[in-house]
Amino acid sequence: MFSYPEIVATLGPSSRGLARSLRDAGATSIRLNASHMSVEDLGTVTAEVRRADSSLPVVVDLQGAKMRLGDLDDRAVRVGDRIVFSLSGSGGTIPLPHPEIFSGVSGGDTLSSDDDRLRFRVEAVCPDSLQAVSLTRGTLRSRKGINVLEHPIVLDDVSPRDLSCIRATACLGGISFAFSFMRDGTEASWVRRHAPGSPVIGKVERGEAVQNASTIASLVDALWVCRGDLGAQLGPAGLAHWISGYEPRTERCPVLMAGQVMEHLTLHEEPTRTEVCHLFDLAARGYAGFVLSDETAIGRDPVHAVRMTRLLLDEFSREAPA
């Protein structure tokens, strides 16, 4: 009934050093999230995976056009709190190490962070800082994503940091690069220019990518539908509408689903029945595989999460009981 689906397991604090065990449990490749590692650590971990299994494919997930906060102590915010974001993060400001944001936003724009859990209305912008008022209650945390809701921040090449990540890993062989917040697929050529011969994965995480999904699919080696950031961009109902009508089989490359695929396995032994039914539906509709994130990066038992997902997919491939 189904082809053998891929399982991409994200390596993180709970699973570092477990690449071989994840492979044995059913993972077909390992994902390294470059946004949550230093360039040096990324190179070290990639080399560790290579030593554990020289043939196991590795996906280095680049920051791409996704902006992130810098390192900070957790900071609670309430509705109406005034916050200053700055390049340096000094003097009690929130570090936002992306000069392109300060040159690309205006008063009245909305900043969205942590998969839209937090929102801030921009009130004033300077060359290296901006003032905003909180529209929500929550906690600002290190390295969480941040973007502008009203319009995209446009890039014209890979960032200097992503270039460093490519150079630190491409030489090890068997590396694919995923580009976050891809807009129209031209970004694939930027990566290929710096890493000739390396497969490029396009991540559908923003409204423009939804409109350009088929064009992107024609320019990349694989496509990931990433429901976390995409849900923040489209809203939950908009995400559900698009996912329900999207046909992965029509694309020119394999399409994988990412984002809370088996989220319950992060902290529990068994997935929810809803997750199992949804996994079956996605596999039946032609998704070529699934990306596990928190399930394997910070979960209680990353190997079990992969094994359980693989067992379910294997069971789906058999005939249904009478």
Q: What are phi and psi of 244, to 5 degrees?
A: -65, -30
The pLDDT, as a whole number, for residue 28 is 97
> What integer is the mean pLDDT of 126-139?
95
The pLDDT, as a whole number, for residue 35 is 87
The pLDDT, as a whole number, for residue 322 is 47
> What integer is the mean pLDDT of 218-234?
91
Cα Rg for the chain, rounded, in angstroms?
A: 20
> What integer is the mean pLDDT of 88-93?
90
> What integer is the mean pLDDT of 55-60?
96
70-148 folds as M1 Pyruvate Kinase; Domain 3 (2.40.33)
- Counting residues of the chain whose pLDDT is more than 90, the rounded percentage is 76
d(CA 242, CA 288): 18
Task: Name the pLDDT band for 321 (thresholds 50, 70, 90).
Answer: low
Domains of the chain: which residue ranges?
A: 6-65+154-316, 70-148
d(CA 145, CA 98): 12
Task: Name the pLDDT band for 190 (thresholds 50, 70, 90).
Answer: very high
Task: Name the pLDDT band for 251 (thresholds 50, 70, 90).
Answer: very high
d(CA 42, CA 180): 17
- Counting residues of the chain whose pLDDT is more than 70, the rounded percentage is 98
**pTM as predicted:** 0.84
Residue 289 is encoded by which pair of tokens? Answer: 């595989």
Burial class (CB in 10 A: 0-12, 13-18, 19+), 135: middle
- Indicate the class that CATH gives domain 6-65+154-316: alpha beta
Burial class (CB in 10 A: 0-12, 13-18, 19+), 71: exposed
Task: Name the pLDDT band for 155 (thresholds 50, 70, 90).
Answer: confident
Convert the pLDDT of each residue in 262-299 to its tens digit: 999 999 999 999 999 999 999 999 999 999 999 999 99
